[in-house]
């Protein structure tokens, strides 16, 4: 046994899309250690169970935000919680984005779907330190305009290039339509001096990382966030294995240099 949840109160609940909400949490008593961007928590829904969720916001007050999509019993339960409800949270777990690795380099952030949520604290971190980082590019792919999270916020980000593309536009959409990788042609970065951060569905991660590598971004500077079944988050349950990687310990964010081969083997 490792780690007992700590009570956190839901202080705000914001629906992001039809099936996704962002919960802002504040500790009821003592807060957990600070989370780094890309790290995750095990979030407990009373009577239903626990799931791993990345932090989508880290407050100086010890507050956290989690963006959760209702895809299973626990995530659906968490999405139904209301302000005032108490959840259990344990963490921080895993290796995050490690934005410091991009110091003095251009930054390319590529988000697919709800993958934008775990990238959000990273984006805010690098945008807050324009002197430390080179040109920051934020590339976002979504299913439809209605599935696009944090739309207002995205427009305010002072990135060198911000691109949003959707798979299927609606009547009002005036932006790009197509795969998120097409936006890479318009991003402003010097591939050999770039660190990329990629999160989204696995096929999107593979396509994006390959594209970035073919442009000359070194494979060990392409950071990708991976997902597998996770029960303990402490390296003891064996569920999150991806070949040699125990993702709760070596990940969820790993270098493409380490992920490329395991991801190329079907059903590994």
Residue 88: name the closest of 147, 25, 34, 40 by CA.
25
CB nearer other proteins, residue 40 or residue 132:
40
Strand positions, DSSP E, the chain: 6-17, 20-27, 40-45, 49-54, 57-58, 64-69, 86-93, 106-112, 136-142, 161-166, 176-177, 194-199, 222-225, 241-242, 245-246, 253-255
**Residue 94 lies near other proteins (rule: CB under 8 A):** yes
Q: What are phi and psi of 124, to 5 degrees?
A: -60, -40
Give 139's strand partners.
Answer: 110, 163
Q: Enumerate the H helices of 69-183 as residue ranges.
A: 73-79, 116-128, 151-156
Shortest separation between residue 49's beta carbon and other proteins, angstroms? 4
Looking at 48-56, 99-107, 127-135, 152-160, which segment touches other proteins (CB under 8 A)?
48-56
**Residue 118 lies near other proteins (rule: CB under 8 A):** yes
CA-CA distance, 121 to 31, in Å (whole number)?
18
Contacts with other proteins in 209-268 (CB under 8 A)? 211, 214-215, 225-232, 234-239, 241, 243-246, 249, 252, 265-268
Shortest separation between residue 183's beta carbon and other proteins, angstroms? 8
**Residue 189 lies near other proteins (rule: CB under 8 A):** no
Looking at 3-11, 100-108, 120-128, 131-139, which segment touches other proteins (CB under 8 A)?
3-11
Shortest separation between residue 47's beta carbon and other proteins, angstroms? 5
CB nearer other proteins, residue 52 or residue 134:
52
Helices 202-215, 256-264: axis angle to 10 degrees equals: 130
**Residue 30 lies near other proteins (rule: CB under 8 A):** no
CA-CA distance, 159 to 212, in Å (whole number)?
19
CB nearer other proteins, residue 124 or residue 132:
124
**Residues 167-186: x where in contact with other proteins by CB under 8 A, - otherwise, as a string:** xxx-x-xxxxxxx-xx-xxx
**Residue 162 lies near other proteins (rule: CB under 8 A):** no
**Residue 192 lies near other proteins (rule: CB under 8 A):** no
CA-CA distance, 18 to 96, in Å (whole number)?
28
**Residue 46 lies near other proteins (rule: CB under 8 A):** yes
Contacts with other proteins in 134-153 (CB under 8 A)? 141-143, 147
Shortest separation between residue 155's beta carbon and other proteins, angstroms? 17
Q: What are phi and psi of 203, to 5 degrees?
A: -60, -35
């Amino acid at each position: 046994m490792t780690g007992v949840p700590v009570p956190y109160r839901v202080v705000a609940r914001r629906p992001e899309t039809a099936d996704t909400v962002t919960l802002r949490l504040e500790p009821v008593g003592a807060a957990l250690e600070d989370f780094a961007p890309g790290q995750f928590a095990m979030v407990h829904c009373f009577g239903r169970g626990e799931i791993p969720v990345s932090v989508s916001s880290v407050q100086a007050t010890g507050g956290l935000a989690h963006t959760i999509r209702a895809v299973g019993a626990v995530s659906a339960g968490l999405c139904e919680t209301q302000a005032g409800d108490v959840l259990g949270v344990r963490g921080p777990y895993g290796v995050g984005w490690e934005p410091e690795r991009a110091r003095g380099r251009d930054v390319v952030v590529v988000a697919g779907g709800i993958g934008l949520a775990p990238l959000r604290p990273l984006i805010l971190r690098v945008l807050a330190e324009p002197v430390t980082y080179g040109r920051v590019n934020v590339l976002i792919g979504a299913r439809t305009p209605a599935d696009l999270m944090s739309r207002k916020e995205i427009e305010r980000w002072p990135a060198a290039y911000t691109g949003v593309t959707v798979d299927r536009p609606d009547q009002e959409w005036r932006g790009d339509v197509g795969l998120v990788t097409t936006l890479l042609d318009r991003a402003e970065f010097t591939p050999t001096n770039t660190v990329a951060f990629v999160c989204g569905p696995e096929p999107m991660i593979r396509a994006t990382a390959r594209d970035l590598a073919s442009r000359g971004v070194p494979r060990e500077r392409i950071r990708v966030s991976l997902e597998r079944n996770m029960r303990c988050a402490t390296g003891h349950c064996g569920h999150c294995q991806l070949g040699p990687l125990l993702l709760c310990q070596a990940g969820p964010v790993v270098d493409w240099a380490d992920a490329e081969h395991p991801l190329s083997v079907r059903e590994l």
